[in-house]
């Protein structure tokens, strides 16, 4: 079977990862790289000598042999570039945030369906081994009824010009939440942020609280100004709790057999009972998340009918992000 040909637009920060993983996959072939900076084009050519490189996006659009274009440019360009790709009836891979407005996202989604081409928004965490293990544990009811989600997602940078820290980092946690809990509806969004180094422009630090139905709440701390990199998630249930530490070199996920129950009686109306059991370090898939995501992409692109799973998650995320803006 002919390989699906891919062109990658934006070869700075994330684009080279797309080039490498699409090249490593046996169902895809990267034939084009596009960027406005010569050093980025030269790096792509050195990584993959067979690739065609250009500064002209139209060369990719007008290549009849090119099946899909991956957009890894700055978020404010996504809507315009994505529309041009879909209008040429080419499949579209696009980075998060999908677009900078819900209106633009819905327009691209509708255009993809109208032109019968596939639209994929890149959320690698939902294809990552530890997150897949968390999904497995939820489905098996190992945790009991889930009650809260906390996350610390911090680093020193990358500070961006046109989006704030919530729009840049929160999509990772929101994609995980909407993937793990597809049926839960958001009922309330609260946020507080600050911009210590730009005097009130785009927030570099923020706390985001997302309340879901059935008393489940997510607390997400985001920062571009931390001296240390943290990728830490706790998922609490009535029976057990999960800790996911992505920075840990080996034990990235742990299951804690711990819980708290409130015993009530006439003598002591409020008495917390703390239960502590074993700590389990489970195994999980070691496959690189981006490569697993490309596996998923191939399955969806070659299905009889397109299911726009990640694009629908992206629209849910933008609904939350626009509530944050309000």
Structural domain span for residue 8: 4-121+289-325
CATH number of the CATH domain containing 28: 3.40.50.720
Assess whether 96 and 132 both reside in one domain. Answer: no
pTM assigned to the model: 0.93
Residue 261: predicted pLDDT: 72
**For 205-258, how does the pLDDT look when each residue is reduced to its tens digit (9 = 90+)?**
999 999 999 999 999 999 999 999 999 999 999 999 999 999 998 899 999 997
Assess whether 318 and 253 both reside in one domain. Answer: no
Assess whether 144 and 226 both reside in one domain. Answer: yes
Structural domains counted in the chain: 2
Query: pLDDT band for position 179 (50/70/90)?
Result: very high
Residue 251 belongs to some domain of the structure: yes
Give the alpha-carbon dihedral of 103, 104, 108, 113, to 10 degrees.
10
Assess whether 258 and 228 both reside in one domain. Answer: yes
Assess whether 188 and 260 both reside in one domain. Answer: yes
Residue 162: predicted pLDDT: 79
Assess whether 85 and 220 both reside in one domain. Answer: no
d(CA 116, CA 22): 22
**For 20-54, how does the pLDDT look when each residue is reduced to its tens digit (9 = 90+)?**
999 999 999 999 999 999 999 999 999 999 999 99
Assess whether 171 and 255 both reside in one domain. Answer: yes
Q: At what angle do helices 309-325 and 165-180 cross, to 10 degrees?
A: 130
Alpha-carbon Rg for the chain in angstroms: 21
**Of 74, 77, 91, which Cα lies nearest the Cα of 6?**
91
Assess whether 135 and 184 both reside in one domain. Answer: yes
Average pLDDT of the residues of the chain: 94
Q: Provide the 8-state DSSP code for 89.
A: T
d(CA 34, CA 238): 50
């Amino acid at each position: 079977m002919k390989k699906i040909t891919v062109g990658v637009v934006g070869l700075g920060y994330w684009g080279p990862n797309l080039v490498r993983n699409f090249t490593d996959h046996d169902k895809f072939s990267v034939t084009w790289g596009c960027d406005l900076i010569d050093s980025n084009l030269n790096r792509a050519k050195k990584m993959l000598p067979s690739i065609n490189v250009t500064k002209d996006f139209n060369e990719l659009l007008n290549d009849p042999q090119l099946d899909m274009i991956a957009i890894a440019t700055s978020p404010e360009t996504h809507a315009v570039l994505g529309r041009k790709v879909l209008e040429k009836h080419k499949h579209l891979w696009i980075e998060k945030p999908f677009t900078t407005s819900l209106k633009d996202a819905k327009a691209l989604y509708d255009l993809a369906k109208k032109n019968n081409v596939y639209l994929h928004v890149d959320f690698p965490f939902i294809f990552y081994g530890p997150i897949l293990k968390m999904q497995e544990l939820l489905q098996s009811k190992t945790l009991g009824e889930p009650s809260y989600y906390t996350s610390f997602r911090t680093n020193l940078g990358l500070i961006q010009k046109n989006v704030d820290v919530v729009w840049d980092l929160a999509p990772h946690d929101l994609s995980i939440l909407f993937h793990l809990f597809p049926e839960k509806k958001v009922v309330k969004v609260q946020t507080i942020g600050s911009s210590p180094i730009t005097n009130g422009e785009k927030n570099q630090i923020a706390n985001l609280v997302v309340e879901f139905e059935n008393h489940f709440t997510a607390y997400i701390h985001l920062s571009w100004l931390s001296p240390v990199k943290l990728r830490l998630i706790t998922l609490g249930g009535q029976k057990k709790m999960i800790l996911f530490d992505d920075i840990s070199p080996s034990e990235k996920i742990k299951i804690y057999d711990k819980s708290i129950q409130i015993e009530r009686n006439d003598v002591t109306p409020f008495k917390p009972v703390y239960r502590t059991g074993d700590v389990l370090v489970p195994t999980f898939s070691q496959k690189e998340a981006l490569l697993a995501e490309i596996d998923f992409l191939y399955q969806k692109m070659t299905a009889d009918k397109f299911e726009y799973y990640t694009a629908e998650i992206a629209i849910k995320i933008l609904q939350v992000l626009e509530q944050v803006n309000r």
